[in-house]
């Protein structure tokens, strides 16, 4: 039994790749958000998952406790070296230091240019304003002072429960309180804490991505010849998949394969040879034009996956 024919002009391999791409886009669509900046540019953002945010929080808590414990040990050593009467002063200083670390650790890091604590940076996350504008100090303060209500109060309830007659009820109340606030990101589509909801912020993914070097700028002996200029319609005839294929052709293929690929592209875009034009010069010029056009579209939030993507 023969398989059903593919759509005219589309090979079976291309059809399989397109179905796989569509399935991947459907999986990512749940965490993708469209944000329009004040300049009018539309940007596609990916939200950080609840597990990633929890992991970043645990890393930050570990860093905070490492700081305060190291400071306590250092002050204890200094107080013993000086005299026994200075231990109370050292402990009072440590309590003040602990207060500042606990309340201003997140604010100091998130109010900076990176808008991320060390834990968020490690997991590729950062804080962003939902309206597309600049992250303000008011937003950072609001989202982090709410953390005291989400985490600080339940912790205090638990400590009070250890010594108070109504300790069991206080511990239970603190547990319920923690479940309501700490699990809030799991049950909303934007994975927001209560602090994010009040401050108007998101926690988004900022993967460490480095653009590959442009082949046309790294050629040791660039091709010389007449200028080759493409129209916008010709430059956007292909997508990201074809750009990667063309990159491989320029890097690794033989002159015969380069000639075949150049002929196909010329036929696709309706290109007429310029006098003195070589296949390598044509391919390098088209690679540069296609890359530039795709980057322009991605800045506007438009991603063309391949030549069949007509969005």
Angle at Cα 50 formed by Cα 47 and Cα 51, nearest 5°?
A: 115
Q: What is the mean pLDDT of the chain?
A: 76
Percent share of the chain, pLDDT over 70: 69
- Residue 47 DSSP class: B
Radius of gyration of the chain from Cα atoms?
29
Backbone angles phi, psi at 243, to 5 degrees: -60, -40
Tell me, what's the pLDDT at 69? Answer: 92
Domain boundaries, the chain: 44-151+190-205, 216-299
- What token pair was written down for 111? 């109010």
Q: pLDDT tens, 153-201?
A: 666 666 655 555 556 676 677 677 767 777 777 777 777 888 888 888 8
Who wins on pLDDT, 260 or 32?
Answer: 260
Q: What integer is the mean pLDDT of 57-86?
A: 84
pLDDT at 59 over 90: yes
Backbone angles phi, psi at 224, to 5 degrees: -105, 150
Q: pLDDT tens, 233-285?
A: 888 888 887 887 788 788 777 888 888 888 889 888 888 887 778 888 888 88
């Amino acid at each position: 039994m023969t398989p059903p024919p593919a759509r005219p002009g589309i090979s079976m391999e291309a059809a399989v790749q397109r179905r796989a791409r569509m399935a991947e886009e459907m999986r990512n669509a749940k965490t993708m958000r469209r944000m329009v900046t004040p300049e009018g540019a539309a940007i596609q953002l990916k939200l950080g998952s609840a597990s990633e945010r929890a992991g970043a929080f645990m890393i930050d808590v570990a860093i905070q406790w490492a700081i305060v414990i190291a400071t306590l040990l250092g002050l204890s050593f200094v107080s013993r070296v000086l005299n026994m009467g200075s231990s109370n002063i050292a402990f009072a200083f440590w309590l003040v230091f602990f207060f500042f670390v606990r309340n201003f650790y997140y604010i100091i890091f998130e109010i900076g240019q990176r808008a991320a604590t060390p834990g968020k940076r490690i997991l590729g996350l950062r804080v962003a304003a939902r309206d597309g504008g600049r992250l303000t100090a008011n937003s950072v303060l609001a989202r982090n002072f709410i953390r005291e209500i989400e985490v600080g109060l339940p912790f205090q309830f638990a400590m009070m429960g250890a010594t108070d007659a109504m300790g069991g009820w206080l511990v239970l109340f603190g547990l319920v309180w923690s479940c309501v606030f700490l699990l809030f990101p799991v049950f909303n589509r934007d994975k927001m804490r209560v602090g994010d909801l009040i401050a108007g912020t998101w926690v988004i993914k900022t993967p460490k991505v480095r653009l590959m070097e442009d082949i046309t700028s790294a050629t040791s002996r660039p091709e010389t010849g007449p200028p080759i200029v493409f129209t916008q319609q010709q430059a956007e005839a292909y997508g990201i998949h074809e750009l990667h294929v063309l990159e491989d052709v320029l890097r690794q293929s033989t002159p015969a394969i380069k000639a075949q690929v150049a002929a196909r592209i010329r036929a696709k875009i309706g290109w007429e040879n310029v006098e003195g034009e070589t296949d390598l010069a044509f391919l390098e010029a088209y690679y540069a034009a296609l890359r530039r056009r795709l980057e322009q579209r991605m800045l506007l939030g438009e991603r063309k996956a391949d030549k069949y993507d007509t969005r």
